[in-house]
């Protein structure tokens, strides 16, 4: 069940481990993990602040999970050790997959970031516009959010990008989306939700997805899709209105994942 490969673990800790903990930023979860010469400590977004201390013991990769005994007690809560359950192993697997992809240089050939970004432009824009964008891609800087910065600029220039707080979606969100170029070009106007629609979204188990579905139910007929997009999800979020255009959007989403760009729709 342990998803962590011994040799990959050793390569990462040897190359990136620091005595005080080398910091790795997980853009998708907006978390920082610490890499030491002999172990990696993964943080999580769970309310009980659980973390996974991955280390070697008897030549094997072991995991020590700690969490607060009762997070509702605030400062009085105690840190305790606990057994990993299936959900913990799945969470650790996701965290490890992203960290090892970025830090284990022997996993495979390095991603040609500029070329991959150019491919993304051709999926998202018409050929003439994509040609211009691809020809003007600057040299990658090595920054973890470089690809997103370039995409964000291209989408903003084309007026396909909106920014608003999730909780402000019925007012500011609707106004910001209605001002985007794809909607204005087609004469589309997202209806302002009534109290019943707002309540239904806010009560949904996955209310962020329900929120997006409110928009997309009115956009799908026009082959448009609204996505929450960026390097991570936050209270103040970036949203993009993209054309589905056959398989182009599906291919674009696959490329985004390779570039570390996260999305929800």
pLDDT digits (tens, 9 = 90+) for 232-257: 788 899 999 999 988 899 999 989 98
Boundary-marking domain end, from 54, 84, 103 = 103
- Is the domain of 21 the same as that of 88? yes
- Is the domain of 231 the same as that of 134? yes
Give residue 149's pLDDT: 94
Sheet holding 31-35, edge to edge: 22-26, 31-35, 39-43, 51-57, 60-68, 79-82
Give residue 110's pLDDT: 52
Q: What percent of the chain has pLDDT above 90?
A: 68
Residue 203: both structure tokens together: 């009560």
- Is the domain of 160 the same as that of 226? yes
Q: For the CA atoms of 10, 12, 14, 16, what is the dihedral angle to 10 degrees?
A: -160
- Is the domain of 11 the same as that of 59? yes
Structural domains counted in the chain: 2
Give residue 28's pLDDT: 85
Of 18-27, 159-168, 222-231, minimum mean pLDDT range: 18-27
What are 228's strand-pairing partners? 239, 264
Boundary-marking domain end, from 73, 103, 133 = 103
Task: Compute the distance between CA of residue 221 and CA of residue 181 in angstroms, rounded to an integer.
Answer: 17
Residue 221 has pLDDT above 70, yes or no: yes
Boundary-marking domain end, from 103, 129, 151 = 103
- Is the domain of 13 the same as that of 135? no
- Is the domain of 99 the same as that of 117? no
Task: Compute the distance between CA of residue 87 and CA of residue 103 in angstroms, rounded to an integer.
Answer: 24
pLDDT in tens, 17-46: 999 888 999 988 889 999 999 999 999 999
Residue 134's domain comprises 113-264
- Is the domain of 45 the same as that of 168? no
Q: Which one, of 3, 256, 258, lies nearest residue 108 by Cα?
A: 258
Residue 112 has pLDDT above 60, yes or no: yes
Residue ranges in 125-206 assigned as alpha helix (H): 127-135, 146-157, 174-178, 181-186, 195-203
Q: Answer whether residue 79 is part of any domain.
A: yes
Q: Answer whether residue 215 is part of any domain.
A: yes
Residue 144 banded pLDDT, cuts 50, 70, 90: low
């Amino acid at each position: 069940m342990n998803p962590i490969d011994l040799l990959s673990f050793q390569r990462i800790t040897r190359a990136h481990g620091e005595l005080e903990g080398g910091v790795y930023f997980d853009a998708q979860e907006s978390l920082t993990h610490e890499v030491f010469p002999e172990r990696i400590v993964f943080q999580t977004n769970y309310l009980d602040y659980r973390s996974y201390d991955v280390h070697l013991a008897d030549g094997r990769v072991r995991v020590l999970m700690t969490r607060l005994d009762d997070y509702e007690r605030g400062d009085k809560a105690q840190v305790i050790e606990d057994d990993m359950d299936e959900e913990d192993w799945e969470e650790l697997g996701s965290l490890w997959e992203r960290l090892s992809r970025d830090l284990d240089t022997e996993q495979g050939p390095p991603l040609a970031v500029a070329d991959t970004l150019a491919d993304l432009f051709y999926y998202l824009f018409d050929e003439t516009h994509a040609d211009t964008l691809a020809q003007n891609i600057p040299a990658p800087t090595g920054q973890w959010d470089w690809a997103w910065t370039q995409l964000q600029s291209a989408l903003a220039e084309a007026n396909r990008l909106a920014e608003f707080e999730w909780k402000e979606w019925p007012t500011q969100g609707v106004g910001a989306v209605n001002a985007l170029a794809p909607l204005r070009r087609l004469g589309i106007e997202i209806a302002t939700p009534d109290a019943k629609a707002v309540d239904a979204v806010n009560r949904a188990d996955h209310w962020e997805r329900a929120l997006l579905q409110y928009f997309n139910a009115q956009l799908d007929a026009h082959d448009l899709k609204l996505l929450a997009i960026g390097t991570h999800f936050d209270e103040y979020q970036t949203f993009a209105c993209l054309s589905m255009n056959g398989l182009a959007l599906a291919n674009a989403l696959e490329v985004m994942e390779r570039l570390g760009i996260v999305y929800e729709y």
